[in-house]
Amino acid sequence: MDLKNRKILMIGGDERYTEVIKKLSRSDADVVLAGFDQLDVPHGNIRKQDLHQVDFHTIDIVLLPVSGTDENGNIGMASYSNQKLRLTEEMLAQLPDTCKIYTGVTSDFLNRAAGNKEVIPLIAREDVAIYNSIPTAEGTLALAMQETNFTIHGAFVMVIGFGRVGITTARLFAAVGANVKVAVRKSSAAARVREMTMQPVYMHHLQNELKDCDIIINTAPASVLDKDCLQHVPKHSIIIDLASEPGGVDFSAARESGIHAIHALGLPGKVAPKTAGAIIADTFITLLEEAKY
The answer to whether 224 and 203 are in contact (CB under 8 A) is yes
DSSP for residue 111:
H
Does one domain contain both 200 and 258? yes
Are 95 and 145 in the same domain?
no
276, part of any domain: no
Q: Are residues 29 and 78 in the same domain?
A: yes
Report how far Cα 281 is from the mean position of its chain's Cα atoms: 14
118-121 and 74-75 beta bridge pairing: unpaired
Q: Are 52 and 79 members of one domain?
A: yes
Examine the domain organization and report whether 251 and 170 are in the same domain: yes
Residues 120 and 135 in one domain: no
Q: How many helices (H) and strands (E) does the chain have?
A: 11, 14
Among residues 290, 288, 266, 289, the alpha carbon closest in space to that of 277 is found at 266
Instruction: Specify if 289 maps to a domain.
Output: no
Same-domain check for residues 195 and 217? yes
Answer yes or no: do 136 and 188 share one domain.
Answer: yes
* Inside any domain, residue 119: yes
Residue 49 maps to a domain: yes
Question: What is the pTM (predicted TM-score) of this model?
Answer: 0.87
User: Within this chain, do residues 136 and 248 fall inside the same structural domain, yes or no?
Assistant: yes
Same domain, 105 and 43: yes
Same domain, 174 and 100: no
Phi, psi of 262 (to 5 degrees): -125, 130
Report the candidate in 247, 282, 280, 275 with the shortest Cα–Cα distance to residue 138.
275
Pairing of strands 238-241, 215-218: parallel
Residue 279 within any structural domain of the chain: no
d(CA 214, CA 152) in angstroms, rounded, equals: 9
* 47 domain-assigned: yes
Whether residues 153 and 250 share a domain: the answer is yes
State the Cα–Cα distance between residues 134 and 166, nearest whole angstrom.
10
In a domain, 287, yes or no: no
Domains: count for the chain: 2
The parent domain of residue 148 ranges over: 128-270
**pLDDT tens, residue order, the chain (293 aa):** 567 778 999 999 999 999 999 989 988 889 999 999 999 987 889 999 999 999 999 999 999 999 999 999 999 999 999 999 999 999 999 999 999 999 999 999 999 999 999 999 999 899 999 999 999 999 999 999 999 999 999 999 999 999 999 999 999 999 999 999 999 999 999 999 999 999 999 999 999 999 999 999 999 999 999 999 999 999 999 999 999 889 999 999 999 999 999 999 999 999 999 999 999 999 999 998 887 65
Q: Is residue 198 part of a domain?
A: yes
CATH number at residue 114: 3.40.50.720
Name the domain boundary from 72, 94, 124.
124
